[in-house]
Structure 1
Amino acid sequence: MQTVLIVDDSPTELQAYQDMLEKHGYAVEQATDGETSLKKAAELKPDLILMDVVMPGMNGFQATRQLDKNPETADIPVIIITWKDQETDKVWGLRQGARDYVVKPVKEDDLIERVNGLLGNA
């Protein structure tokens, strides 16, 4: 079973994404901030990370950059999921190492299609 690490400071968002992913056969781990996501990614080696941007402390762009620079986590694909819908935000997120960028609110079909695509389950 493939594991997805969800990083979001909103309990509501965490639960919504977890429900979507588990319904489609994924195991889910959670982190509520950027710092914790770095530790969990290094420990768990998830198959994919869903990363919010606006969080207390280290934001999702910073965490994605750190994950991309660390040889232990650089191969883990990151999908940024955020309310930040400007084209400059998307470009910046992808430049930090994210493989995809999704603007909230997220539709289940779209999210699962993107996750499956990055994990080779399409």
Structure 2
Amino acid sequence: MNSVTKDYLAEIIFKKASENIDQYRESKQQQFDNEPYPGATDEEVLDFIITIPYFDVKLKDFLLGNLADNTIIISQSWENEFIKNTKLWAESFEWLHGNDYFLSEAHTSGINKNKHFLTLPY
């Protein structure tokens, strides 16, 4: 068991989202005036956390800093599941090319049919 912070988990999200961030930006028609911004911005990480359908509301609240807890105790299997779900969303059509239609509640609930949400480990 390891004690981790929301920042540690957000760093995992940042790394996975940054792998295909140019593709995400193209679909959103976001461009940076000077040089391309390396990696996901804070706003893009926030959007990722809000839209990921694989995490339950309490886990999202933890990641967003909306809970009093600053750390959680996780197992290696929980961390592996977190990384797997983050990677799934980072590589999904819905994240990379989605628009409001694809990210609608009806659509994301269809993604989650017969799947369990990753929850806080307590």
Same fold by TM (over 0.5)? no
Structure number with higher strand proportion:
1
Structure number with higher helix proportion:
2
Q: What TM-score comes out, normalization by structure 2 length?
A: 0.28
**Greater gyration radius:** 2
Q: What TM-score comes out, normalization by structure 1 length?
A: 0.28
Q: Which has the higher contact order (CA 8 A, sep 6+)?
A: 2
